[in-house]
Structure 1
Amino acid sequence: MTGYDKHGQDLSGGLEDVPVLCRGPTFPKFKYCTDNVPGPGCSVDPSEVTLPGCSCLTRSCCPESCSCLQMGGQAFDGAGRLSRSDSGYCSPLFECNALCGCGDSCSYRVVQRGLRLRLEVCGAGDKGWGVRTLEGIPRGTFVCEYAGEVIDFAEAKRRQLSQTSEENNYIIAVREHSGPSCVTETFVDPAQVGNVGRFLNHSCLPNLLMLPVRVHSVIPRLALFAGRDIYAEEELTFDYSGGYSNQQPAEMLSAQSGAADGPQRKVCHCGASSCTHFLPLDLSVLS
């Protein structure tokens, strides 16, 4: 493991451009990866370039002429942050990719640039491990991915059903609706292979929001952005159900949904005034 400073070590082992500080007498056991990797049931290699590129020859693309932006809208501003015009966070997001004619300086290359912030993995009391930022983060800034093994529904169900009540469930299921009968499902599990995102805790009042962003592949990257201005030393959290500012996907069931208690239900320790007392649980994976 690569050294970071006298107070901690780089959890990424040098794989990230910015080291991920981790303090403690023991360190979590998992394989660090910066991007999604194919797992059981994954039919497409997430690292394979499968999306077409734009023919723009400018330093930064323009929405009027860029085919990538026309697919996903003008999601980012000139500083590479989520634009206020995308405040609904419902449209699909696409970045320029390896086949695009624009350069690396294009402002629509954000998530693919990877981690750019100083983050620290540290103890978080009853929640176990957590992540805090060592610097202030402006609203709309890309923070990190939730990267891990991309698996199919059958494998996600098998893994979740095999867990004991003491084990953490890291699987995130994202469902994208592109029409009344067209739903795209993506399952990411960073339990054994993942990045710093695997240590982010749930909060019923989060400061991050998760958005699926397509870069080079049809498989989306689960990107986390600052939902508001975040101060240095704050713990970084997101809503495991995918909601933000009371926007909650119908597929996810919270503690108030009337679902029966069982070994899969986990107590929420976020401490928010609006806390639902239990972590969100996607019962469709268990059906």
Structure 2
Amino acid sequence: MERGLDSDSVPSPGSFDKSKVLDVKPLRCLSPVFPPQGFTSFYPPQGPPFVYAPPFGPYPSGFTAFYPFCVPPEHQRPPEQHPQTTSGATNQAGPSRKSSKFHDLQEESATKGDSVRSVTEDGCSDNLKQPALQFSHPNVHNTDAEATSSGVRQKSKSSYKRLRNSQEVRLSLAASVDTESVETIVMKFDAIRRRICQVEDAKDPASGGTRRADLRAGAILMNNGLRTNVKKRIGAVSGVEIGDIFFFRMEMCLVGLHGQSMAGIDYTSLKFNEEEEHVAVSIVSSGGYEGDVDDGDVLIYSGQGGNTNKKSKEVVDQKLERGNLALEKSLRRGNEVRVIRGMKDVGNSTGKVYIYDGLYKIKESWTEKGKSGGNVFKYKLIREPGQAAGFAIWKSIQVWKEGFTARRGLILPDLTSGVENLPVSLVNDVDDEKGPAYFSYFPGLKNAKPVNSHEYSFGCKCKGVCSSGNRDCSCIKKNGGDIPYIATRVLVSWKPVIHECGPSCQCQPHCLNRASQNGLKVRLEVFRTKDRGWGLRSWDPIRAGGFICEYAGEVIEKIKIEEENDELEDNDYTFDATCNYEQPADFNYIPELLGEEKEVNMNKEYKAPLPIIINAKNVGNVARFMNHGCSPNVFWLPVLHEHNDGSYLHIAFYAIKHIPPMTELLYDYGTSGTQHRTKKCLCGSSKCRGCFG
């Protein structure tokens, strides 16, 4: 189990000498290993002589079998220890699957058929039965050839339909992986996870089960070869950039950033002078960071294991083995270690968000008493210079939120003057512009009319809140039988239109089917860009499918569109739903992976079934500052709210993928709209069309 005692403690005169507090068994390798001259960390100056034993016995009297960190070549193993693989299977040296508590737990659960209720970071209903996962343990170092698009070797016992030969769901897992491939894997994972949550939310909670939709989604992707960077490596991972965020450890496993789904230390085997040693490749620090050095470039990391034995109440010291030993070897070898920092998720009280903070090196180590009374290993890691900002951005945002210092270039602390439930900062640290042209801030639509005024609208009769699986809920029926959101209030799939509850419904204001209502959910900032005027970004991380804001302003009637066409062409603050734009790629899940029927192919270009044009030049909200992007991270959908006199149309914006803090929010303006305007595009994307409108 990972220990995350993130203290800023350093060795003190009262620290325990490691030779006095550790009872470490001698390592067994193919040849004796003696501490180097002058090296003292973890090795007492006058310790007992080194005892050598062959890797698999015979052992000297009193010598107990130790976990085999040095796995011998196959020809040196006893016959019963030779791995049984199919033709063409190759595995590099690594710890046995039998050593994994994670797999032990999965196999035990599958054997007994137990269903355990638990709280998880998923946020879906508490009735999800978890099958045994059928993927290779992260410690097994598969070669890149193992996961090519030709197919997956081992057969899955999962009940989900596998598409072994379908090119639709397989990606090329070449050694060189770009950022787009990594993003695609993460998007596919989260799309399946959201769908699993949606399906299970509709089931009877009394059925029991666990809520780990993330583990099920990860198993499905791994079983179908949908992963990248399979082979472990030291240093940077192809396609993963500093500052990238993940909401589940399984996402990091799928892209090769951190191969452990539970443990905080990941390591691999390397050969030094014909001997194999385990060195650390990545760590996840998931505690609090209030005590870290101010510049964010220093991390004091606690080792794994130890704690208090719950049965005997005996205090247990951490041992110099597995991940702890790998960190010590990395200190001696001086190799780079990837650091992922865990933070509380502002959008989910039970979840975390993980940020990749780049490469660090371990500079020193020691032991000290932990909170439980046991001895804990401490490692001091220093960030390698010259890297892009990662965790430092998060620390700056925290300072801004707490009001300890003003935001650089701050013009207004709240552009909305208190209209929104969260303040929206106005910032310019680029030039001398003092702010955008004057407009009245308004969070909704003016001059809106119901889209079906000739029909009387019946709202739902749900008491309390609408619940998935309620066949009597009229709003759920309009959405095809499912609530379009899961418990974390993120959208499950792209749809032509979303039906939300409204004033005519009897459910409570906090009903899940009102996810795009009740104001902003993340802290936004209007900022000055270098070459595209004003833009919009968020202080908070945003999940894929997360609601951002709606487009507010004055609705223009069809009759007046032609009359005001000239004015609209010169208006940079207009939303036009009559434009054609591409559906968000990879946002929706692949039905076949869940045993569902494939959806009928829809046109790649999409036009809203309920066209609307909104003028936000004089009246509007933060959405008016969102710029166009040919590779957008945001998309919009028409959302209908139920009123007594009909359904009212709103335009809601959602995240296509996970969006890190301080990343500009962009959506596709589309082409060939009613206004027929064309403007030069400056988005800078590799897929830039050159113009929009």
Name the TM-score class by shorter chain. Answer: 0.7 to 0.9
Go from structure 1 to structure 2 and tell me whether the alpha carbon gap of 1:43 and 1:230 turns closer, same or farther (over 3 Å shift): closer
Decide which structure has the larger Cα Rg and report it.
2
User: Following the alignment from structure 1 to structure 2, what is the Cα–Cα distance between the partners of residues 81 and 162?
Assistant: 37
Classify the secondary structure of the residue corresponding to 2:435: coil
Task: Please tell me whether residue 70 in structure 1 is matched to residue 489 in structure 2.
Answer: no
User: Following the alignment from structure 2 to structure 1, what is the Cα–Cα distance between the partners of residues 497 and 575?
Assistant: 21
Give 1:33's aligned residue: 442
> C-alpha offsets along residues 166-224 of structure 1, whole Å, 9 cap, x if unaligned?
x5252323489xxxxx9532111111111000000000000001001112452311000
User: Which region of structure 1 is more displaced relative to structure 2, 92-101 or 269-278?
Assistant: 92-101
Task: Report how far residue 23 of structure 1 moved.
Answer: 1.8
Give 2:497's aligned residue: 92
- Give the counterpart letter for 2:435 in structure 1: F
Task: Work out whether residues 186 and 219 of structure 1, in 8 Å CA contact, stay in contact via their aligned partners in 2.
Answer: no
- Give the counterpart letter for 1:270 in structure 2: C
User: Following the alignment from structure 1 to structure 2, what is the Cα–Cα distance between the partners of residues 183 and 144?
Assistant: 21
Give 2:418's aligned residue: 14
Task: Please tell me whether residue 168 in structure 1 is matched to residue 572 in structure 2.
Answer: yes
Give 1:232's aligned residue: 661
Go from structure 1 to structure 2 and tell me whether the alpha carbon gap of 1:272 and 1:57 turns closer, same or farther (over 3 Å shift): same
Task: Report how far residue 43 of structure 1 moved.
Answer: 4.9
Task: Work out whether residues 209 and 226 of structure 1, in 8 Å CA contact, stay in contact via their aligned partners in 2.
Answer: yes
Map 1:205-224; keep pairs closer than 5 Å. Answer: 205-217=631-643, 218-224=647-653
Q: In proportion to residue count, which structure has more strand?
A: 1
User: Following the alignment from structure 2 to structure 1, what is the Cα–Cα distance between the partners of residues 464 and 640?
Assistant: 21
Consecutive unaligned residues of structure 2, counting only runs of 5 or more, are 1-400, 581-607
> C-alpha offsets along residues 142-171 of structure 1, whole Å, 9 cap, x if unaligned?
000111111112323333313576x52523
- Give the counterpart letter for 1:27 in structure 2: G
Task: Report how far residue 105 of structure 1 moved.
Answer: 2.5
> C-alpha offsets along residues 107-155 of structure 1, whole Å, 9 cap, x if unaligned?
1111112211100001112210000111110111000011111111232
Task: Work out whether residues 568 and 574 of structure 2, in 8 Å CA contact, stay in contact via their aligned partners in 1.
Answer: no
Task: Work out whether residues 156 and 171 of structure 1, in 8 Å CA contact, stay in contact via their aligned partners in 2.
Answer: no
Give 1:244's aligned residue: none
User: Following the alignment from structure 1 to structure 2, what is the Cα–Cα distance between the partners of residues 79 and 187?
Assistant: 30
User: Following the alignment from structure 2 to structure 1, what is the Cα–Cα distance between the partners of residues 667 and 488?
Assistant: 23
User: Following the alignment from structure 1 to structure 2, what is the Cα–Cα distance between the partners of residues 16 and 111?
Assistant: 14
User: Which region of structure 1 is more displaced relative to structure 2, 134-143 or 55-64?
Assistant: 55-64
Give 2:458's aligned residue: 52
Give 2:685's aligned residue: 272
Task: Work out whether residues 33 and 194 of structure 1, in 8 Å CA contact, stay in contact via their aligned partners in 2.
Answer: yes
Give 1:248's aligned residue: none
Give 2:67's aligned residue: none
Task: Work out whether residues 574 and 613 of structure 2, in 8 Å CA contact, stay in contact via their aligned partners in 1.
Answer: no
Go from structure 1 to structure 2 and tell me whether the alpha carbon gap of 1:175 and 1:240 turns closer, same or farther (over 3 Å shift): closer
Task: Please tell me whether residue 199 in structure 1 is matched to residue 622 in structure 2.
Answer: no
User: Following the alignment from structure 2 to structure 1, what is the Cα–Cα distance between the partners of residues 475 and 662?
Assistant: 36
Task: Work out whether residues 68 and 94 of structure 1, in 8 Å CA contact, stay in contact via their aligned partners in 2.
Answer: yes
- Counterpart selection for 1:184 from 610, 620, 624: 610
* TM-score normalised by structure 2 residue count: 0.33
Say which structure, 1 or 2, has more relative contact order (CA 8 Å, 6+ apart): 1
Task: Work out whether residues 505 and 642 of structure 2, in 8 Å CA contact, stay in contact via their aligned partners in 1.
Answer: no
- Give the counterpart letter for 1:127 in structure 2: R
- Give the counterpart letter for 1:235 in structure 2: E
Q: In proportion to residue count, which structure has more helix?
A: 2
Consecutive unaligned residues of structure 1, counting only runs of 5 or more, are 177-181, 242-251, 255-262, 282-287
Q: CA RMSD in A?
A: 2.7
User: Following the alignment from structure 2 to structure 1, what is the Cα–Cα distance between the partners of residues 564 and 661?
Assistant: 36
Task: Report how far residue 253 of structure 1 moved.
Answer: 3.1
- Give the counterpart letter for 1:231 in structure 2: P
* TM-score normalised by structure 1 residue count: 0.76
- Give the counterpart letter for 2:689 in structure 1: T
Task: Report how far residue 9 of structure 1 moved.
Answer: 2.4
> C-alpha offsets along residues 42-81 of structure 1, whole Å, 9 cap, x if unaligned?
6559xxxx74310111434334221111112331112211
Go from structure 1 to structure 2 and tell me whether the alpha carbon gap of 1:222 and 1:60 turns closer, same or farther (over 3 Å shift): same
